[in-house]
Amino acid sequence: MDKNFMQQNTSPRWRKHLRRMGGIYQETNMKLYPLILILVILSSAPLNQQTLLLKVSGQDGPSDRQYVDDDVSTPLCGGVLRTDLEVSERIYGAPASGAVGGGDITLIYHTSFPVASRSYVQTLFDIVYPEIKTVYGDPSNTITVTLKYDRDWYPWNFYIPANNTIVLSQLPPTSGTSPTWDAIFTHELIHAFHDAIVLTESWAEEGMTEAATQIVAMNLKNRGVRDIVYRDPVVNLKYYDVWSYMGSHVVGGTPNFFLKFNPDISYRISSAMFFILTCELSTSTSSPYDFLKRLNQVLYSESSANPYFDDLRFKLMIRQVAAGRLVEGQLADVWVGYQPITYTLVRAGFHIGVYPYRPENPTRVWVMTFLRNSYGEETPMGGLRVNVKVIDVDGKVVNSGQAITGSDGMGYLDLSQTPYQTGGYEISASTIFNEINYTARNYAFSQGESRFIEQPDSNLYGVTLDSRGRPVPATVTATGGTVTLNSRGAFKVEASTQTPPLEVTVSSGGFQRKFGKPNPYTRVVWMNSTAPSPTPYTVTVNIQGLPSTYSTTIQVDGTVRGKVQGGGTATFTFEMGTTHTIQVDSYVNASSTERYHTSPNIQVVTSEATVTFTYLRQVYILFQQNGSGKPVPATIDGTIYTLPVSFWWTSGSNHSFTYAGNLTDGRTRYLLVDVSSRSPLTVTGPLTVTGLYKTQHMLNLSTIPSGLTHIEGSGWYDSGSRVRLNAPPVSGYTFRAWMVDGSETTSNPVEVTLDSPRVAVAIYQSLGSYDVTVRAIYAPTGEETEAQFIWDGKTYTTPYTLRSVTGSHTVVAAATDKAGHTFSKWQDIASNTSSRTISSGGVYTAIYGPVERGFSISISPEHQRIGPGQSTFYIVRLESLGGFNSPVTLGVKGMPVNSNSTFNPRTLQPPGTSTLTINTYPTTPVGSYVLTVTAVGDNVVRTVQARLSMGACIVATATYGSELSGEVQFLRGFRDNQVRKTFAGESFMSIFNMWYYSFSPYVADYINQSSSAKSFARLILHPLIKILYVASTSYKVFQHTPEFAVYTAGFVASFLIGTVYFSPAFAPILLLKRRLSRIIWKITSLIFLLSSILSLTGEATAHFGLMMFATSCFVISTIIASILFSAKLLNMFCEVLRKFRSNLLA
């Protein structure tokens, strides 16, 4: 023990008794106390680990036995066992009859105890027995004690009064000495001293016995007689101090009451209390530990009337021996008054406990949860979430969190390290177990600083409580000390004497309590007061937006508290410092297509407040399609969905949507015809939006021989269409038959119904003779192989050429080639049949061997045309080759800047299809792009390309057949190199593109499918191109001032477009409607003037939106002006004709 501590913080009597402990205490440094305290709370000692191996079941012994070697370990005493034969009127059994006091003990051995070990025991008995009598007095009876060995009881040891037997489950060492075994034997031998009396409380019997064992061991070691291991009383004082503030319902820092608490309370805490009493209350100078001896003498003298000493009677005996020197506070407040001494005082069932690790600075809070049965056995409850709150005197939660208990039923929560404001604090813990909320509380003290009480401290720290047990500011007075701090429910009393033991009487309101401090380590206590409790707070809940015909359920902390009509209110009152959750229904259904929704529907309150839940009306919106045979993607509010899809949208909200316009599935496609509602959509009520699709099938026309002539009619047709096919005459050939999907007919023309994709081949037969060469190749290598074939019943071997053949002939390839490879297919046809008809010359190749394992990839359509800000789709099809069945992942390269792509799905297993969606934005650059789709699977890579035209004059491209045509190149150059190089031109093109690309892809698609439409489009576009040539020339005249040049070009182009395209239709009408013409002229003049002013303003301010509007008005007003001008010229021409006619007639 630290020498300075002994000199400064202990009384002379304490110092004298501690010095008698010799070297043991000198080696104990009291500065290690914080570490020891942590270990005490967080760890289970070896004692605890062993006790968990044994389950005590009544008095029948252990139910689970653990056999180990006989090496001595930590001593465990199972207590004084009194059998049923001795039971009289009390369950504890009757004491042995005979003299009480002045007795003697003789030791004999049971046959189970080895003879070889008896000499060891006898020597030890001769040493410790006289020392016990010095400390404890004479035994209560003259008895012969039998020493018995029974390893089945390991690790427990007992004294049985019925037959005066000590049962040891371990043997002494065969050589040398075992201090631990010596302590076990000494402890059990001291039990025999009480043979004639019964201390009904195990803490009393075990506490006295263990204290005596420790003192005997200390005396023998100090004199150098024998080294007996004992539990250090100083360490026991730490346990004693920790348990003094653990709370009124929780036993301690371990989850097993019976097997842990009983030994701890006996060996450590109770024995520490008796050690304190012995040090403080012994009166003999020659025998400084005579308190236990005098206590035994009183017990013996009182036992003649009644040998049984229960808890209360035993404490009275202590006070009698103390002769007024023991204050009530020492035993009642710190030990008995607030701690359950035996399990009979504690209720069974679920328990929750909470305590701050350092109550003078609660930066960490420990919680414990366990189940206790009627026998006091406890089962830890792990995995429970415990909500912890730190509440000040104002009822405010200053800190909170959640701890989760482990398998030992313990858990902790680290709180903020910031010091709390000076005051008292309630530590509250709650958890749900079996749908029941359990709560525990404890208290903490703060001086407003990060202070830990590390050194001995004789001050008394406390918290004043109101009638509900919550910290409250109160008046505090003290007798035997001075109140040096009293703030916000926290008080500190400095004792008048600084030498323990001491006592202080504290008063608050009408309550008074006496607190004793038997050692300098007792911490925080709490004091009841009559101070008023904090006032409760009120919370008002408003329900808005919900019609009064509907109601919502309201819950408080998960419990339904009733219903509230729309527009109504509810009021609740809560205790100050408590936190509550207010919850209403998230949805209130009005019908299957209408509901009301509020979010969030949960709010937390901690003080007086008005909580408002606002409901919004929502309606059911369904997007679906009709007519498409494959899934339809639709972009809704920027996200792509596969139809059908439904939403609950808030009434009055706005949404945009786009249906896929073209879905291709191989040689069948589905075109969007109409949508039942238009985008954007303003929600007013339930709605079903339907996209109507029509089905088209592909008709492929070809000839045999391949490429012999072009047959009109290949392309897409509406499902059910009937198409008339006519094979034209070809010089040098005669028509033989149509083969439609493998079936031949000699009719020409022939009518085909497009109820599915069709492949029609016009078969021609050469006039005169022709040559035919038949070859065979091995597919894996591509090399020539030999194989037989039959030509008109005659067998040949490849390669072979038949010359001067006429007419039609049947050729059949052999099933295998010369090397045994199996026939796969003819190279020029898809079918795998080995028989075919040949009616024209050429080279015909039979393929043998397995086709390479892999897959093929195709994309449809091969070319899409869209404008900036639009989306389009491609269908990517994978076909399995050679049994390929591995997953294939798709990717695409060559995308325009400011665009994105998605595959649905991105990974698939051939055969199958994936939809490639291309999304562009108004800022996406126009141009023609080559998209490369790459498919990768099982080390096989395939690619396919498709074209994407972005605003690349798509109608002109479709009309002139190529983007490389001179007309298309001119149009693109005029737009990109002249118009879009200026601010005004870029502004106009932005709004022009929105209008143009809303219809141009469909027009271009139609032109591509019809040659007549293509001819008509050329006729329409020819004047436009000439007009733009003139406009381009006018631009070049003023190109040194680009903004003026673009206005000049725009005026020229608009004026000529109006003159050429609109005047022929509208000028004659305006000539007849002259009044209307004058009105339109005035309006047009105002629009032109307005556009000029806005253009100047837009140029000056660089306002893009303003310029879009101004340039649009400029173009439109110029076109109208050209029409009015044309009407004026027409009128002047008519006047000239009229005058000429009049002159002729005259």
The predicted structure's pLDDT at residue 342: 33
Higher-scoring residue by pLDDT: 860, 327: 860
**Residues in the chain, how many?**
1146
Are 959 and 944 contained in the same domain? no
1094: confidence class by pLDDT, cuts 50, 70, 90: confident
Min mean pLDDT across 415-424, 912-921, 1005-1014 is at 1005-1014
359: confidence class by pLDDT, cuts 50, 70, 90: low
Q: Do the domain assignments include residue 415? A: yes
At 825-874, the pLDDT tens digits run 887 665 678 888 888 877 888 989 876 777 778 888 887 877 777 788 88
334: domain CATH number is 1.10.390.10
Range among 503-507, 779-783, 915-919 with highest mean pLDDT value:
915-919
Is a pLDDT exceeding 80 seen at residue 158?
yes
* Amino acid, res. 434: N
**Helices of type H across 244-285:** 262-263, 271-281
**Contacts with 966 (C-beta within 8 Å, 6 or more apart), sequence order:** none
| Cβ neighbourhood burial of 110 (10 Å; 0-12, 13-18, 19+) | middle
Torsion sign over Cα 713, 719, 721, 723: positive
120 DSSP assignment: H
Is a pLDDT exceeding 60 seen at residue 637?
yes
Peptide bond into 749 cis (omega under 30): yes
Total H helices, total E strands in the chain = 23, 65
| Cβ neighbourhood burial of 653 (10 Å; 0-12, 13-18, 19+) | middle
Euclidean distance between CA atoms 969 and 412, whole angstroms? 78
Six-digit token string for 291: 């308190």
Are 878 and 920 contained in the same domain? yes
The predicted structure's pLDDT at residue 232: 56
Are 54 and 136 contained in the same domain? yes
Last residue of a domain, one of 824, 848, 872: 848
Q: Do the domain assignments include residue 425? A: yes
Q: Do the domain assignments include residue 76? A: yes
At 213-271, the pLDDT tens digits run 888 888 888 888 998 876 555 555 444 444 333 333 333 333 333 333 344 455 556 66
Averaged pLDDT, 503-512: 77
Are 316 and 374 contained in the same domain? no
Are 436 and 306 contained in the same domain? no
Collapsed DSSP state (helix, strand, coil) of residue 480: coil
Task: Give Cα separations from 482 to 487, 492, 495, 709 (angstroms).
Answer: 15, 8, 6, 121
Range among 653-657, 894-898, 1007-1011 with highest mean pLDDT value:
653-657
Is a pLDDT exceeding 90 seen at residue 543?
yes
Are 938 and 1011 contained in the same domain? no
Q: Do the domain assignments include residue 741? A: no
Three-state SS letters, 621-649 = EEEEEECCCCCCEEEECCEEEECCEEEEE
Query: How far out from the chain centre does Cα 764 lie?
Result: 70
The predicted structure's pLDDT at residue 64: 30
Six-digit token string for 402: 């959640």
Are 379 and 255 contained in the same domain? no
**What is the domain range of residue 446?**
349-528
Are 974 and 1072 contained in the same domain? yes
Euclidean distance between CA atoms 757 and 668, whole angstroms? 6
The predicted structure's pLDDT at residue 691: 93
With tokens 């449809």, the residue in question is 860
Q: Do the domain assignments include residue 1019? A: yes
Euclidean distance between CA atoms 844 and 828, whole angstroms? 8
Task: Give Cα separations from 125 to 114, 118, 138, 162, 225 (angstroms).
Answer: 16, 10, 15, 21, 13
Q: Do the domain assignments include residue 461? A: yes
Query: For residue 1132, what are the β-bridge partners?
Result: none
The predicted structure's pLDDT at residue 325: 55
* Amino acid, res. 1109: F
Using only C-alpha atoms, the chain has a radius of gyration, in whole angstroms, of 53
At 431-462, the pLDDT tens digits run 999 888 888 777 888 888 766 665 667 777 88
Are 967 and 882 contained in the same domain? no
The predicted structure's pLDDT at residue 358: 67
606: domain CATH number is 2.60.40
Euclidean distance between CA atoms 271 and 187, whole angstroms? 12
Are 366 and 332 contained in the same domain? no
**Range 715-720 contact pairs with CB under 8 angstroms and sequence separation of 24 or more:** 715/1009, 716/669, 716/1009, 717/754, 718/694, 718/754, 719/694, 719/695, 719/754, 719/755, 720/753, 720/754, 720/755
Euclidean distance between CA atoms 828 and 826, whole angstroms? 6
Q: How many domains does the chain have?
A: 6
Task: Give Cα separations from 923 to 662, 865, 951, 996 (angstroms).
Answer: 24, 16, 12, 16
499-520 burial string, b = 16+ CB within 10 Å, else e? ebbbbbbbebbeeebbbbbbbb
Last residue of a domain, one of 927, 950, 973: 950
Q: Do the domain assignments include residue 619? A: no
Range among 4-13, 79-88, 785-794 with highest mean pLDDT value:
785-794
Task: Give Cα separations from 334 to 10, 231, 500, 503, 1141 (angstroms).
Answer: 19, 22, 14, 11, 136
Euclidean distance between CA atoms 1146 and 267, whole angstroms? 149
At 404-429, the pLDDT tens digits run 988 877 788 888 777 888 898 888 88
Higher-scoring residue by pLDDT: 982, 687: 687
The predicted structure's pLDDT at residue 42: 29
The predicted structure's pLDDT at residue 858: 82
Are 95 and 214 contained in the same domain? yes
Q: Do the domain assignments include residue 686? A: no
Q: Judge contact between 873 and 915, C-beta under 8 A.
A: yes
pTM above 0.75, yes or no: no
Euclidean distance between CA atoms 817 and 850, whole angstroms? 12
Collapsed DSSP state (helix, strand, coil) of residue 89: coil
pLDDT averaged over every residue in the chain: 77
Euclidean distance between CA atoms 163 and 144, whole angstroms? 9
* Among candidate residues 315, 362, 63, the one with its CA nearest the CA of residue 200: 315
Last residue of a domain, one of 829, 848, 867: 848
Are 933 and 1002 contained in the same domain? no
944: domain CATH number is 2.60.40.10
